[in-house]
Chains A and B, each alone.
Chain A
């Protein structure tokens, strides 16, 4: 193979037209170049996906893992049907559609905050005459560079009812106004009743939201900062001459010109948030009563706690389809991949 590759990088041969009869055709050389990558991709990416599709149509379990084990039983679309009809008795109160609704709400509610805060901070950091701009930008990158697992563990401790910094901080502030510390004995993670009676979301959702906002906005700020640098100052000068206010300039120049950068970032943020396993698993554990469980944490439970590989494979396929539809829909609505030039 090495000899073939060495021969193929001969400049003279590369220059040959396609279909040359004197030597190897040019297209063949190209294929030889991508062959190693293709082989690796087939082995580590496409084969597992195909195997997962196969597993999803079987009752694959622990007993089928060994090389010498009997093949799993083919069950057709039973796994797929059981999932959407909530026939997963191994997980109490399993509710696929409720979980999907929460997963989507979780995703959108987070990304809206990320983008809004991200853009606002970027615009503020872009203001003329701001001192220590570089320092601020460096500090704001911090949440991105700390591993999510560490962030989740720290925030989980901060939300502790008795010893957590959040309740202690609130109690200290409340103390200034003469409030008893007992008022701030808030069970951020364990409380089952929703804090707002007419909003069916547990307190742990808000704890997760606060954590993920802290985690997610800096990325959007970086993207927005980059995009802001590319907006020509001439637009603002022209708008000023025409008498446009700062607010009008923001909504009519800044926001539209940020859009080409922000929409792909938002789509990326959506996919990451939709699959944000570490944070949910470590902070709320999906609780209380599975109210903050998302699709990927449930898939993990199906595999890790129940060893239902076949069912989990079907679950994974559903998750992939949902994300694909979500991405295509968003792309269509926002025209993210269209040219803006």
Chain B
């Protein structure tokens, strides 16, 4: 509770400093008092989590500076946010704007659910890193206001692991020597490894080429890691708990839990990019969190102005300081070295594709991971089967 109060106070101070008493314009070009009307906003941050704390603090400040705006905030469970938005927006309802990773952006654009924003945002995203803007584009058009980069990295407990492993060999040596790592057993958290072994998922035509090398080697490495004592968990909460309670020394996870891990581990917490492999750096999926405007929004101008205010330099600084998220703006200085590590991880990541083909990665490769890790399939056979299934679904 005390931490929450301090966080809120920090945000309020930061915002008040930047706004100069609520009269100057914000970094996104939104003047105080310019956000008007009823605006409904959805987010999928966990209750009481650091990201929700950051957002609530920013919204409170915006409300004070914009008394004509009536902002309604609704929290939606993360595993339902895309489905809920897509179903409601497709029927003409839903919020005016919502924030989420760009996981479903392509599908939403193809279903005509989001407003194209190129004209409305002309000249307003000059301070945003190009990767952030590109991440919210589909077929060359911009469909969101970028806010954060998100890619997984290696968290480690400094008490147990003074120097994080830089390579896969170093990690293996450490695990064999008794250090422990827990990995979420799914296609997202393990996505970064194949690039380190020279693997590629899709070619330029959208055809799966994971069966042509690298992916099977990466999975073989995972099996060796498991044999050496590495843990694999299908339950993300359980994996988190084991790291937060100090039962395991390392975990691969994203910046969205940084604030929460800090609460438990404090100064013991370290973050490093995923170890590089024999063929290069690891390539976790780099996503971009953005604010999306519903095609059925009743207050489009209000929604865009609100999103710009939330994602201005002050807002992104607050997200970085309170939640440990990586800002997409180039004019935001990140002071926390842990957040900087996540920024490095995001920079080396594989930009999450918005193609219809990539949407068919999750089912086949999710199953392949389970089959391989559980010993029901060899790495080569499992990856070949998944790749064939993905190509079949994509008619490639």
Could you say which residues of chain B place their CB within 8 Å of the CB of A67?
91-92
Which residues does chain A contribute within 8 Å of B86, judged by CB atoms? Answer: 62, 307
In the complex, what residue of chain B is closest to A288 when comparing beta carbons? B370
Q: How far is the CB of B229 from chain A (nearest CB, A)?
A: 15
Residues of A226-253 contacting chain B, CB below 8 A: none
Query: Shortest CB–CB separation between residue B390 and chain A, in angstroms?
Result: 8
CB-CB under 8 A for A92 and B111, given A65-B90, A65-B91, A193-B374: no
How many angstroms from the CA of A323 to the CA of B193 in the assembled complex? 46
Count of A-B contacts judged by CB separation below 8 Å: 66
Query: Which of B7-15, B323-331, B360-368 interfaces with chain A?
Result: B360-368
The answer to the question of B3 belonging to the interface, with a C-beta cut-off of 8 Å to chain A, is no
Separation of A1 and B377 alpha carbons in the complex (Å): 69
Range, interface on chain B = 20 to 34
Q: Which residues of B contact A16 (CB under 8 A)?
A: none
Which A residues are in CB contact (< 8 Å) with B371? Answer: 192, 289
Contact B110 A90 (CB under 8 A): no
How far apart are B93's CB and chain A's nearest CB, in angstroms?
10
Check if B111 sits within 8 Å of A62, measured CB to CB: yes
Which residue among A66, A69, A191, A192 has the maximum number of chain B CB atoms within 10 Å of its CB? Answer: A66
Asked if A89 is an interface residue, CB under 8 A from chain B, the answer is: yes
Over the window 44-84 of chain B, the binary record of Cβ atoms lying under 8 Å from chain A Cβ atoms (1 yes, 0 no) is 00000000000000000000000000000000000000010
| Given A190-B234, A289-B367, A289-B371, residue A89 in contact with residue B393 (CB < 8 A) | yes
Q: How far is the CA of A287 from the CA of B371 in the complex (A)?
A: 12
Chain B residues with CB under 8 Å of A89's CB are 360, 389, 392-394
B160 contacts partner chain A, Cβ-Cβ < 8 Å: no
User: Are B367 and A90 interface neighbours, CB within 8 A?
Assistant: no
Which residues from A are CB-within-8-Å of B394? 89
B369 CB to nearest chain A CB (Å): 11
Closest residue on chain B to residue A93 by CB atoms: B367
For the complex, what is the distance from the CA of A292 to the CA of B383, rounded to whole Å?
23
- Chain B nearest Cβ from A204, distance in angstroms: 11
Q: Is B386 an interface residue (CB 8 A)?
A: yes
B235 contact set on A, CB distance < 8 A = 160
| Interchain CB contact under 8 A, A288 and B111 | no
Q: Is the CB of A66 within 8 A of B91?
A: yes
Q: Report yes or no: B370 in contact with A90, Cβ–Cβ below 8 A.
A: no
- Contact flags (1/0) for B223-236 with A, using CB distance below 8 Å? 00000000000110
In this complex, the member of B110, B363, B393 whose beta carbon has the largest number of chain A beta carbons within 10 angstroms is B363
Cβ–Cβ contact B360 & A63, under 8 A = no
Alpha-carbon distance between A290 and B91 when the two chains are bound, in angstroms: 31
Q: Is the CB of A65 within 8 A of B234?
A: no
Q: Of A63, A190, A192, which one neighbours B112 at CB under 8 angstroms?
A: A63
- Chain A residues positioned under 8 Å from B376 (CB to CB): 192-193, 289
- B263 at the A interface (CB under 8 A): no
Instruction: Say yes or no: A289 contacts B370, CB within 8 Å.
Output: yes
Q: Say whether B87 faces chain A, with CB atoms less than 8 Å apart.
A: yes
Residues in B whose Cβ lies below 8 Å from that of A190: 234
Q: In the complex, A290→B370 CA distance in Å?
A: 11
A287 vs B235: C-alpha distance when bound (angstroms)? 12
Query: Which residues of chain A are near B87, meaning CB under 8 Å?
Result: 65
Interface residues of B in 184-236 (CB under 8 A from A): 234-235
User: Please, what's the 1-or-0 string for A70-106, where 1 marks a CB less than 8 Å from any CB in chain B?
Assistant: 0000000000000000000111110000000000000
- Contact assessment for B363 and A90 in the assembled complex, using a CB-CB cutoff below 8 Å: yes
Q: Which residue of A lies closest to B394 (CB)?
A: A89
Bound-complex Cα distance A287 to B369 (A): 13
Shortest CB distance A20–B (Å): 50
Among candidates A66, A92, A163, A193, residue contacting B389 with C-beta atoms closer than 8 Å: A92
Please give 12 more A-B residue pairs, beta carbons under 8 A apart, in addition to A92-B367, A163-B238.
A62-B111, A63-B112, A65-B87, A66-B90, A67-B92, A89-B389, A92-B366, A160-B235, A287-B370, A288-B374, A289-B370, A304-B83
Which residues does A use to contact B, with CB under 8 Å?
Answer: 61-63, 65-67, 69, 89-93, 160, 162-163, 189-193, 287-290, 304-305, 307
| 24 A-B pairs (CB sep. < 8 Å) | A62-B90, A62-B111, A63-B111, A63-B112, A65-B91, A66-B91, A66-B112, A67-B91, A90-B363, A92-B364, A92-B367, A92-B386, A92-B389, A93-B367, A160-B238, A163-B238, A191-B374, A192-B371, A192-B374, A192-B376, A193-B376, A288-B370, A304-B83, A305-B83
B residues within 8 Å of A by Cβ? Answer: 83, 86-87, 90-92, 107, 110-113, 234-235, 238, 360, 363-364, 366-367, 370-371, 374-376, 386, 389, 392-394
